[in-house]
Structure 1
Amino acid sequence: MAFQQGLSGLNASSRNLDVIGHNIANANTVGMKASRAEFAEQYASSINASGGTNSGIGVAVNSVSQMFTQGNITVTGSDLDVAINGKGFYELSMPDGSMAYSRNGQFKLDRSGDIVSNLGGQLMGYPTDSEGNRLSFETQPLNLPTGGPIPARQTSSIEAEFNLDARAVIGPSAIPPTPISKYGTSVIAYDPQGLEIPVGLAFEKIGNNQWNVYTSVNGSDPAASTPFVLNFTTSGQLDPSSVIPPLTVSSPNDPSVTFPVTLDFNNVTQFGTAFAVTNLAQDGYRPGELTSLKINDSGIVTASYSNGQTRSAGQIALIDFTNTQGLSPTGGGNWQATFKSGEPVRGAPGEGNFGSLRAGALEDSNVDLTAELVNMMTAQRAYQANAQTIKTQDQVLSTLLNLR
């Protein structure tokens, strides 16, 4: 009887329409992967049946597979929107403690400083130092210190790069004597609490290829300090035998709090050109509040602070599987690992077979609306054809019952 075949065809076509409708409904869902219904014919089993003699008993939906092809990437401009260009999934630690995997890069920063998905999953990544160097291959939730300012850093060194004019006359012998303030510069250092400490440097030529260096701290008179001497070679480079003592700096909040600051003058020269400072830097800073985040193509999350400092907060991890078709969709753009998918393989963006990241962008759904609409019309016709087989079988039965 053809009722069984027609009924199975109706069920399969209805399931196919469900899959197509799901694809069309999610055409604008970020990171969504289209599905397709895969059919298999069915035959009745019989003992000693030879090939080709059994009548088929219909069709069944053998599997609903997802198509993990790359979706288009759309630029959004949001700092925490991230698209994967290539293979890989984000790893998320869900609120119930389970692990999920996603291609949806719409992330947010919660009040605890965690980078989370719209469903509350914490984005997992690798810990790094402040320069972005990976410290471990064990993933952990990416977190930023949003609860308070980053602490201040005490200045430990001052690096200077400048040229002293070789044409300058010897200061004490000049008429009138050259004031020590003629050649000088200043920089702001910081104490352990981040308070500013003005540091001044003044230079006086005292002989051929010799200069006195006077220092000033917190506005003191440089002339009252004990100078040290810079010696230069005949080629204008700093003589390595020059002894540069550390500078003792006191806190403006408590003058009894002092600490040494190393002076790096290795790039100081003495040439026959005007005095000029080309670089003057120190390694301290005041406290700072988080102002913005940036994510580069390698997944390094960099936080910028109000004191001008930037720090790496970790590196986004990417996950891949031996069999992505074995992943189980759980909704919300997430999948879970199963026995069929295999164990997750961790890596970093841009390494090996893993794709790179595009910050300020999102991966669109890979649903082809035109193809889905054509598929929908085909599925509709298949449904009608199966219904017609049932109608025809009913007419055959009716003819038989009406025989006299």
Structure 2
Amino acid sequence: MTISSSLRAGVTGLAANAGRLATISDNIANSSTLGYKRAVTDFTQMVVNGSSGSGRYTAGGVSSSAFRVANEGGAITGTSNATDLAVSGRGFLPVTAATPAQLTDGQLPLQLTSTGSFEINDAGYLQSPQGKMLLGWPANFDGSFENFPRDTVAGLEPVRVNMSAFTGSATTEIDLAVNLPATGTEDTGDGLPEEMTLEYFDNLGKPEALTITFTPTVPAAGDPATNEWAMTIADSASGGAVIGDYTLTFADVRDLGGTLAGVADTVGGAYDAQTGSITVTADAGPIQINIGEIGDGNGTTQLSDVFAPVQISKDGNAAGNMTGVDVDDNGYLRAQYDNGITRVLYQIPLVDVPDANAMNSATGQAFEVTRESGGFLLWNAGDGPTGTIANFALQESATDVAKELTDLIQTQRAYSSNAKIVQTVDEMLQETTNLKR
């Protein structure tokens, strides 16, 4: 009967508002929990079949369902830790709570989170206080990456950093510009060579040296200046062997006087006029030496009576200790070393799912993909639909305390109103019972 349906509607209203009170309480309690996603309760009308076909109305009541708004993030706040990470925009960081045995077996149960304060644990893994290890694609030694699949965790591994690691890089290019004394190639020259030593680093990060000797060609008495120098390059790592022997000729015409006019090779790679460089093969491998282009006043010159290095620069570094790591907007995790080297170790992708709100909640502000949420895809941060990764940052709780308090008052009033329905129906049923007396 209709009065019974009213009682049922009131009872369902009590249950639905009690459920809403639970989500509001959870939201308020976690208003300071980093990365917390607020929970919401949706109400749905329950309709009894045939309730209005006969002109009589039968109350169906209300049902409720609760879920977390996983695609809604809180504000991002800055921190002082380089491995505090937060997703700015759409997407989630891939993490795992794998046990040591699962790590050994290569089993990585995937979980997703929008933020994490990651620190290097005793095994070297980047791990959050909630026990979540950050996942990423490992880089090759040269900083490149394999073509990893995007719809599976295959290829992902826990990010592991060895703070005791050393690294170095070999010297492959040297920029060299010197001024040779023009008086050295005149008939009054003494013919003595000019010598300089350049340090370079081999493939193991050890320092070696190239000894470069410039010997002038002195003309016979009364003859004009030759404007010619022999340049020899000896490698200490090769036992002092000569790995380059060149003849440098300089112009003495107006406007181009003192600039390179030609380079002839006897030992070593040929001079490349397009780049102004020669290539010699040291014990550690080929080294390109840029001496300047033909007619270039900024390269190697022959002017006045002064021998002076004008510019010396090179790449390569000695072996150095790791000093720290950071993650850029595109998810590349780089290690810094005290020798100035920066090396890419991992790429942290962002995970996107079609319906983030249909994922299951896990402990530690994490989520798990479900059939209802749809399959996941891994994206490069900043590409496709995903946002970027902010380091030195954490995502605050998505709870709006003012709104939750407002909803709390509404829920309290609604619960009281439904309780009044139950009370009223009870009184009416009592009146019906009294009719028999």
Note closer, same or farther for the CA distance 1:37–1:209 as it changes in structure 2 (3 Å cut). Answer: farther
Match of 1:33 in 2: 37
Distance in 2 of aligned mates of 1:387 and 1:102? 40
Please report how far the alpha carbon of residue 218 of structure 1 lies from its aligned counterpart in structure 2 after TM superposition. Answer: 6.2
Letter in 1 for 2:136: G
Question: Could you say if the C-alpha distance between residues 141 and 343 of structure 1 is closer, same or farther in structure 2, counting changes exceeding 3 Å?
Answer: same
Quote the Cα distance in structure 1 between the aligned partners of 2:291 and 2:141.
Answer: 26
- 2:300 and 2:125 mapped to 1: Cα distance? 52
Gaps of 5+ in 2: 100-107, 150-154, 219-225, 269-278, 293-298
Partner amino acid for 1:265? I
How far does residue 320 in structure 1 lie from its aligned partner after superposition? Answer: 0.6
- Cα distance, 1:382 vs structure 2: 0.8
TM-score (norm: length of structure 2):
0.77
After TM superposition, give the deviation of residue 6 of structure 1 in Å. Answer: 1.7
Q: Which amino acid aligns with 1:68?
A: N
Structure 2 CA distance for aligned equivalents of residues 241 and 217 of structure 1: 20
Q: Per the alignment, do residues 111 and 173 of structure 1 end up closer, same or farther by CA in structure 2, a change over 3 Å counting?
A: farther
Asked if the contact 2:243/2:280 (under 8 Å) is kept, the reply is no
1:107-145 Cα shifts (integer Å, max 9, x gaps): 222233322333333322223345644322243225345
What secondary structure is seen at the aligned counterpart in 2 of 1:289? Answer: strand
Q: Which amino acid is 1:398 matched to?
A: Q
Using the TM superposition, name which of 13-22 and 60-69 deviates more: 60-69
Change (3 A) 1:239 1:143: farther
State which drifts further: 57-66 or 299-308: 57-66
2:49 pairs with 41, 45, 50, which one? 45
Q: Provide, for residues 279-323 of structure 1, a one-character-per-residue CA deviation record: whole Å limited to 9, x for no partner.
A: 42153532x332111211111111012333221001101111112
**Contact conserved, 2:247 with 2:263, CA < 8 A, in 1?**
no
The separation in 2 between residues aligned to 1:75 and 1:263, in whole angstroms, is 44
Matched residue type, 1:161: L
1:322 maps to 354
Shift in Å at residue 158 of structure 1? 4.9
Measured after TM superposition, the shift of residue 39 of structure 1 is 0.7
Relative distance call for 1:88 and 1:239 in structure 2 (3 A) is farther
Q: Distance in 2 between matches of 1:227 and 1:137?
A: 44
Is the alpha carbon distance of 1:227 and 1:350 closer, same or farther for their aligned partners in structure 2, counting shifts above 3 Å? closer
2:275 aligned partner: none
Task: Give the TM-score, by structure 1 length.
Answer: 0.83
1:315–1:263 CA distance, 2 compared to 1 (3 A): closer
| Alignment partners' CA distance in 2, 1:248 and 1:81 | 45
The answer as to whether partners of 1:132 and 1:300 remain within 8 angstroms in 2 is no
Residue identity opposite 2:301 in structure 1: F
Percent identical: 22
Counterpart pick for 1:187 among 192, 195, 199: 199
User: SS at the partner of 1:38?
Assistant: strand
Look up the match of 1:302.
Answer: 334
Q: 1:266 to 1:64 in 2, by over 3 A?
A: closer
Report whether the alignment pairs 1:350 with 2:374. no
2:146 aligned with 1:135? yes
Letter in 2 for 1:93: T
The Cα shift of 1:205 comes to 3.5
Matched, 1:113 2:127: no
Q: Which moved more, 1:105-114 or 1:71-80?
A: 105-114
Which of 352, 359, 365 is residue 397 of structure 2 equivalent to? 365
Structure 2 residue 221 is matched with structure 1 residue 206 = no
Match of 1:252? none
Aligned counterpart, 1:170: 184
The residue type equivalent to 1:271 in the other structure is T
Greater Cα offset, 382-391 or 207-216: 207-216
Q: Which residue of 2 aligns with 1:283?
A: 316
Q: Tell me which of 49, 61, 73 is aligned to 2:64.
A: 61
Q: CA RMSD in A?
A: 3.3
Q: Select the residue among 165, 179, 196 that pairs with 1:149.
A: 165
Q: Work out whether residues 296 and 357 of structure 1, in 8 Å CA contact, stay in contact via their aligned partners in 2.
A: yes
Secondary structure of the residue aligned to 1:377 is helix
